Amino acid sequence: MAIEFPISVLKTLWSRRADGHWEISDLKGLELTSESETEKRFFVLRGDVQLMTNSPNRSLKDVMSLFGPTDFLMQQSIVPVVAWLDGEHAIRCIGTASIISCTGYLLTAAHVLMDPLESGYGAVRQGNHVTHHDSLNFGVLIPYWAPGNGMTLQKAFRFFPFEKRWNWGEWKPSPLLHEDDRWEHLSDVAVCKIAEIPNGNAHQPLTMSLNPFVPGEDAYALGYAEMPDIKLDPSSGDIADKNFRLNLNVSVGNIISTFPMNHIEREVSTPGPCFDFDARIPGKMSGAPIFGARGAVIRGVVSRSFSGEDHAYGSMLAPTMDLRLDEPQIKNRSLRNLLQNGNEGMPIVEGARL
């Protein structure tokens, strides 16, 4: 089925009211464009400078986050998952995440969260839990405009470590004596929490859908394909390459099939309810949001792909909406009740097939 171009993603603009509640102050469809007319299904996102609102009722510091090229505006909501140990000279990029609340809830892939353990750095298993080393820095990078030379601005990055993480599954013993137990995912969707932005400003969330993809629907995935390690200055811990640039890639395809009962029937190896689509998904895009409804809502996250092929699998978001986000003092919380009853600043959209 032919993709309907041009393509765009719906972005909401949030602020905090005087009473402490979050509100949508504007919204805009950001067109996703390629610099090449021949590369419309996989490309590095660029775009003209845009202003998210024509009536910013904000402090100057917050207004500075409301304008920029399309890639900068999208990078405030779609962020690279990174990890490094204290004293290392480079930051690893291990996947992609998307912000889904003003307070800092994110979606990514569950296997991305397991990377420090499974790749043998920064984490150990203790009983049924994974414990991170104190020296591990594990979280996301979010860009902002910082003062440059004279009256200019330059893009800089804030690191937000993961404060809380949820993924669902169980440990399965290996039949081989020389192999450790393995974690069997119930779904490849995971939820994380980072700190709020200082001074009461809002993270800029994307909109989640309660509905699954249907075969033939257009699907857009945005993530940090094959992002290289970021060199650090060993004396300061700052990014050493002053010309470093985050490249956000757009990959477009159609949904081929859906597997809503995959957690029971095990039709494909992707864990849990999932779908496949005919898009190019290189490495480091794991956890990237996959948009449906012509870019209005997130319906899933990238789970796995096949090198050099236009074929990938995504995990369905809707079946995870009722999985519990428990903490020692908080029980029976889920994405659904945060969305419907919480004050986290999560966009809710209504309409046919949204």
pLDDT reading at 58 higher than 60: no
pLDDT of residue 342: 82
Mean pLDDT of 305-326: 93
Among 151-160, 299-308, 320-329, the minimum mean pLDDT is found in 151-160
8 A C-beta contact, residue 306 and residue 278 = no
8 A C-beta contact, residue 48 and residue 74 = no
**What tokens does 35 get?**
């610099």
- Residue type, position 74, single letter: M
Please give the share of the chain, as a percent, with pLDDT higher than 90.
68
Please give the DSSP secondary-structure letter assigned to residue 353: T
Please report, for the chain, the start and end positions of each structural domain, with discontinuous segments joined by +.
7-341
CA distances 349 to 6, 10, 51, 190, 352, Å, are 22, 11, 22, 22, 10
When the pLDDT of each residue in the chain is averaged and rounded to a whole number, the result is 91
Residues 74-83 pLDDT 10s: 999 999 999 9
Q: How confident is the model at residue 50 (pLDDT cuts 50, 70, 90)?
A: confident
pLDDT reading at 15 higher than 90: no
Q: Which of 302, 330, 303, 334 is nearest to 321 (CA)?
A: 334
pLDDT of residue 60: 43
**Spatial distance between the Cα atoms of 255 and 259, rounded to a whole number of angstroms:** 11
Percentage helix, strand, coil for the chain under 3-state DSSP, each rounded to 5: 10, 40, 50
Residues 235-278 pLDDT 10s: 787 888 877 888 999 999 999 999 999 999 999 999 999 999 99
8 A C-beta contact, residue 22 and residue 344 = yes
Mean pLDDT of 286-301: 97
**What tokens does 110 get?**
């569950």
Strands 105-109 and 274-277: unpaired
**Spatial distance between the Cα atoms of 122 and 144, rounded to a whole number of angstroms:** 28
Domain 7-341 CATH (choose: 2.60.40.420, 3.30.70.260, 3.30.1490.20, 2.40.10.120)? 2.40.10.120
pLDDT of residue 163: 97
- Residue type, position 4, single letter: E
Residues 162-175 pLDDT 10s: 999 999 999 998 88
Residues 106-155 pLDDT 10s: 999 999 999 999 999 999 999 889 999 999 999 999 998 888 777 777 88
CA atoms within 13 A on the CB side of 180: 12
pLDDT of residue 103: 96
Write out the DSSP string of 120-187.
TSSEEEETTEEEE-TTEEEEEEEEEEEE-STT-EEEEEEEEE-SEEE--EEEE--SSTTS--EEEES-
8 A C-beta contact, residue 28 and residue 17 = no
8 A C-beta contact, residue 282 and residue 221 = no
